[in-house]
A = this chain, B = another copy of it.
Amino acid sequence: MAEWLWDHGGEGFAQVYRTDEVLFDAASPYQRVRVVRTPMFGRMLVLDDAVQTSEADEFCYHELLAHLPLVTHPAPKRVLIVGGGDGGLLEEALKHPVERAVMVEIDRMVVDATLRWIPQIPGEAFEDPRTELRIEDGFAYVRGCAERFDVALVDSTDPQGPSVPLFGAAFYGDLHRLLGEDGVLAVQSGSPLYQQDLVAEVRRNLRQHFPVVRTYLACVPSYPGVLWTFTLASKRHDPKALDPQQVDRRVAGLGLRYYTGLQHVASLNPPPFLRDVLEA
């Protein structure tokens, strides 16, 4: 029987989906993991009660979180991904000529459920010889890691439970240590419509360690309110210094569906009503 899945965003507001089929529903040590089928977005990965990604629009979130920072770095070879168990972000990163991608996901069930039920999201990313998948706590991994990276991407759930430290200044300091002098970091930083405090906190914490901090905007239709923010932090390269033509050259032939040179500029230059949130 059809049921309705409520994904709350802010006070008294939700995006609601009819779930025509529950393909997977289990509790991991960290969270409830579900894969459901909905008419408009196809199969969706749901962690606790929040939609993480969907068959229909996964590229929106993953392209913006992957390519904008990767293009900001002049020649990324080594990429670290924290979280992102569905593999969609990893798949986008591997479209670039990187040599190594380490992905650290705390919850094996997220990886397994995606591979079993929505395999088109990771594609072949987990089998790529450049990939090293580690199932462990990302915070602890980053703290103890001696390897150096060019780009680090944090694809976390909302700041609840095990994700809380992934938004903190200590974690960002550890990531700063792991990054080379051209290093670029990007994180998902929440809704500009109802998580303004989170956006501000992420920006404040990143500024403790990085001279360049830029919050940028994308549309993710399966997230409540659709408008979503990511925040990039960098040791020297400013994504605002890139023009659309430079971006288009870097992503030519990658088959992207959202991120282009023009979208790069639009994402980094929000309409006036969001400037207070994105540029505070």
What is A's interface to B at a CB cutoff of 8 Å?
2, 6, 10-18, 20, 38-41, 59-60, 193-194, 219, 221, 225-227, 256-260, 262-263, 265-266, 269, 271-273
Please state the number of chain copies in the assembly. 2
Kindly list chain B residues whose C-beta atoms are within 8 Å of the C-beta of A2: 12
> Which of B20, B226, B260, B272 is the one whose CB lies under 8 Å from A257?
B272
User: How far, in angstroms, from A166 to B272 measured CA to CA in the complex?
Assistant: 32
Residues of chain B with a CB closer than 8 A to A256's CB: 272
Nearest-Cβ distance from residue A228 to partner chain B, whole angstroms = 10
Residue of B nearest to A193 (CB): B221
A39 to chain B, nearest CB (A): 4
A226 proximity list for chain B (CB < 8 A): 219, 221, 225-227
Determine the distance from Cα of A244 to Cα of B60 in the docked complex, in whole angstroms.
25
**Min CB distance, A258 to chain B, in Å?**
4
A173→B257 CA distance, assembly (Å): 36
> Shortest CB–CB separation between residue A45 and chain B, in angstroms?
17
CA distance A256 to B275 in the complex (A): 13
Closest to A219 in B: B227
The 6 closest A-B pairs by CB, nearest first: A12-B18, A226-B226, A12-B39, A11-B39, A266-B266, A257-B273
| Cβ-defined contact, B265 with A262, below 8 A | yes
Chain B residue at minimum C-beta to C-beta distance from A20: B12
B18 x A40 contact (CB < 8 A): no
**Contact (Cβ within 8 A) B13 A38:** yes
Q: How far is the CA of A268 from the CA of B256 in the complex (A)?
A: 19
